[in-house]
Chain A
């Protein structure tokens, strides 16, 4: 009891020595520094003036940052037949639709597969894992044929629908929900809650870390959708498709390549920070509640 009081007072979990925490921090700092170097180089080179680009030894910083490369990228993009804003609109539409639909549909399906007993459950759970492992270079052909049969070629649906049913997100949620105690769900059932209500009011609010992780995956895969051969009309193409076209060039246009990489990199990072800070908050709350 005495020990417990002391722990509460210091607000530090059991057996935590401050020295160990500092050591861990330093370890993460050093390793993280190495991890972040290429990304730092990408950011620096996207604002480096051309005359500093090919110095020997290469420079890790620049004192004269310039936005020329971004301006060049934009100039190339805005000279296309379709206004640049259309690509931005397409990307935003596709990303929002995929992320929202994937989170809603996958959460519901994961809840059923993790917590309900029904005929067919084992079969579906098996298929989910198998489909994660099956990786075929031929499948794009069959997807195209299915889409053609459904008259979805060259529509927004062709960009959005195939990515919505991501088994990775479903599997993640299912694994996470497996740890929800059955007693909690039984109690809600006894109180007369419908299955839908149990899923959305009780289980999912408790799964915020996994839900936000799935949202990050969904956002990322949606943001990188290029459509491939499923859309051929320029008006349906997304930002990554055209930016990669604009950036495809040799070593002399390296600045533009880097600027393009940065433009494609920033939205997922911003979404990541947003989603992770949501999880951070829930942790703080549950800490206070305890």
Chain B
């Protein structure tokens, strides 16, 4: 009813009402101010400034950037066979790492929650530790080292499965599986921890009420009480999972080098890195990032629809 009335009011009156609302909420804006100032200055403004770069030919030396219209996108899809290849690699990568680590994060967060408090901290630490060990790629290089000193090779040779060392990190047949494995290993990250927090935040009295109502085992409790209470945490974890599945290139770059043999681990993000940080063709790199953003946005919309009923 009220919305209808507002619709009938004149523009001037509506503006006055908006202004009144803004004034009424002065405290709200004040509380948000410190965060929003920093957010706009260091994130929003640079992002908005970088958007038009995708339409230019820009090498950081010649100012101003030369406007070339949509030709970057045209080249990307019609002339750049490595980009088409990188889309395939990215999709394989995302399909394998995204859903698996999402489900695994949830499963582990739930199972850990069934433990006693001290064990919870220990297990959460164990599964989250890979995300904190930024220098651990050196260890994986040791494990998948191409000579017989490598852990994986020496184990396989001792067991008699292979007779010679496998070039894990340079043979294009093995690169992608190895990178996916290591990515899964580091993927109990932000989403996993947020789900742990979600489990811990559920009101105990809900469970007690459930027990009186006749919840008989942990699965019923999970489905009827826990999951409906966890909607927002599940949504957060989904967004983080999309981001890490589509933009993962650090693992590959550190593990199998850049560029990888036959571009076996060359994702869209690696391609953008190539043009942005190696060749300094900023216009082209920006166009690549735009394409990636659109893919991630569509994926996010899809998942929001699925988890939709949990969103506020």
Q: Which residues of A contact B (CB under 8 A)?
A: 3-4, 7, 13-17, 20-21, 24-25, 27-28, 31-32, 35-36, 38-39, 41-42, 45, 54, 56-58, 104-106, 108-109, 111-113, 116, 118-119, 124, 127, 129-139, 141-143, 145-146, 150, 161-162, 164-165, 167-168, 170-172, 175-176, 178-179, 194-196, 199, 207, 209-210, 212-213, 216-217, 220, 224, 240, 244, 247, 254, 257-258, 260-262, 264-265, 268-269, 272-273, 276-277, 279-280, 283-284, 286-287, 290
B123, A28: Cβ atoms closer than 8 Å: yes
A-B contact pairs, 15 of them (CB 8 A): A7-B211, A31-B108, A39-B130, A111-B31, A112-B32, A119-B22, A124-B32, A135-B293, A136-B286, A142-B46, A145-B49, A179-B232, A217-B193, A280-B117, A290-B208
A108, B272: Cβ atoms closer than 8 Å: no
Give the residue name and chain of the A residue nearest to B22 (CB). A119
| Cβ 8 A contact of A39, one of B60, B136, B220, B277 | B136
Residues of chain A contacted by B125 (CB below 8 angstroms): 269, 272-273, 276
Q: How far is the CA of A99 from the CA of B235 in the complex (A)?
A: 24
B46, A146: Cβ atoms closer than 8 Å: yes
A38, B136: Cβ atoms closer than 8 Å: yes
Give the residue name and chain of the A residue nearest to B120 (CB). A280
A-B pairs, 5 with minimum CB distance: A261-B135, A137-B276, A14-B211, A142-B46, A175-B232
CB distance from A2 to the nearest CB of B (A): 11
B263 at the interface (CB under 8 A from A): no
| Cβ 8 A contact of A172, one of B138, B139, B236 | B236
Residues of chain B contacted by A199 (CB below 8 angstroms): 31
Residues of chain A contacted by B140 (CB below 8 angstroms): 38
B233 at the interface (CB under 8 A from A): yes
B200, A279: Cβ atoms closer than 8 Å: yes
CB distance from B258 to the nearest CB of A (A): 13
Residues of chain B contacted by A162 (CB below 8 angstroms): 38, 42-43
Contact A167 to B112, CB < 8 A, known contacts A109-B36, A141-B60: no
| Cβ 8 A contact of A20, one of B139, B142, B218, B286 | B218
Q: How far is the CA of A8 from the CA of B286 in the complex (A)?
A: 60
Q: How far is the CA of A199 from the CA of B27 in the complex (A)?
A: 11
B31, A143: Cβ atoms closer than 8 Å: no
Which of B79-87, B91-99, B167-175, B240-248 participates in binding chain A? B240-248
CB distance from A171 to the nearest CB of B (A): 6
Residues of chain A contacted by B212 (CB below 8 angstroms): 4
B77 at the interface (CB under 8 A from A): no
The A contact surface, by secondary structure, is helix
A135, B289: Cβ atoms closer than 8 Å: yes
B105 at the interface (CB under 8 A from A): no
A119, B50: Cβ atoms closer than 8 Å: no
A167, B39: Cβ atoms closer than 8 Å: yes
A119, B25: Cβ atoms closer than 8 Å: yes
| Cβ 8 A contact of A175, one of B44, B155, B236 | B236
Candidate in A4, A15, A262 with the most chain B CB atoms within 10 angstroms: A15
B44, A132: Cβ atoms closer than 8 Å: no
B118 at the interface (CB under 8 A from A): yes
Q: How far is the CA of A28 from the CA of B113 in the complex (A)?
A: 11
Give the residue name and chain of the A residue nearest to B283 (CB). A138
Q: How far is the CA of A24 from the CA of B115 in the complex (A)?
A: 8
Q: How far is the CA of A160 from the CA of B92 in the complex (A)?
A: 37
Q: How far is the CA of A16 from the CA of B44 in the complex (A)?
A: 49
Per the 8 Å Cβ criterion, residues 131-150 of B in contact with A are 131-136, 138-140, 142-143, 148-150
Candidate in B18, B127, B201 with the most chain A CB atoms within 10 angstroms: B201
B277, A137: Cβ atoms closer than 8 Å: yes
A137, B300: Cβ atoms closer than 8 Å: no
Residues of chain A contacted by B133 (CB below 8 angstroms): 38-39, 42, 261, 265
B31, A118: Cβ atoms closer than 8 Å: no
A109, B232: Cβ atoms closer than 8 Å: no
B201, A119: Cβ atoms closer than 8 Å: no
| Cβ 8 A contact of B197, one of A24, A176, A178, A244 | A176
